[in-house]
């Protein structure tokens, strides 16, 4: 399912326009992104938890040349599915 299909589904289920559904979805994703950027986590009971994890610096290999390269440390977004979501899948 892509974003457009999700917007169609939300609009149909909530009986709202596609424009309103798109605005709601954009607001949802923006709120999660802002919260994660602050370093906090977002927990939706039954659905899951969005959090930020630190990935340590490491060495890797360039697949074309085989040369060793250094990969910088960075923060990455993580999602852990909740029990209710896991049981439905």
Count of the separate structural domains present in the chain: 2
* 62 and 86 belong to one structural domain: yes
pLDDT tier at 77 (50, 70, 90 boundaries)? very high
Assign 1 a pLDDT band (cuts: 50, 70, 90): very high
Give me Rg for the CA atoms of the chain. 18
Would the pTM count as exceeding 0.85?
no
Expressed as residue numbers, the domain containing 46 is 41-89
**Dmax (CA) of the chain:** 56
Q: Do 6 and 45 belong to one domain? A: no
Q: Are 47 and 88 found together in one domain?
A: yes
pLDDT at 19: 96
3-class DSSP state of 28: helix
Pairing label, strands 58-61, 68-71: antiparallel
Q: How big is the CA angle at 29 (ends 50 and 18), to the nearest 5 degrees?
A: 140
3 and 33 inside one domain: yes
Cα gap 72→22, rounded to integer Å = 35
Domain identity same for 66 and 26? no
In this structure, the answer to whether residues 28 and 54 fall within a common structural domain is: no
């Amino acid at each position: 399912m892509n974003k457009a299909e999700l917007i169609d589904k939300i609009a149909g289920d909530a009986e709202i326009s596609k424009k309103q559904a798109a605005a709601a979805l954009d607001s949802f994703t923006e709120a999660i992104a802002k919260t994660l950027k602050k370093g906090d986590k977002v927990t939706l009971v039954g659905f899951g938890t969005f959090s930020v994890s630190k990935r340590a610096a490491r060495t890797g290999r360039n697949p074309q040349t085989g040369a060793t390269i250094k990969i910088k440390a960075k923060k990455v977004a993580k999602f852990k599915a909740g029990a209710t979501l896991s049981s439905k899948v």
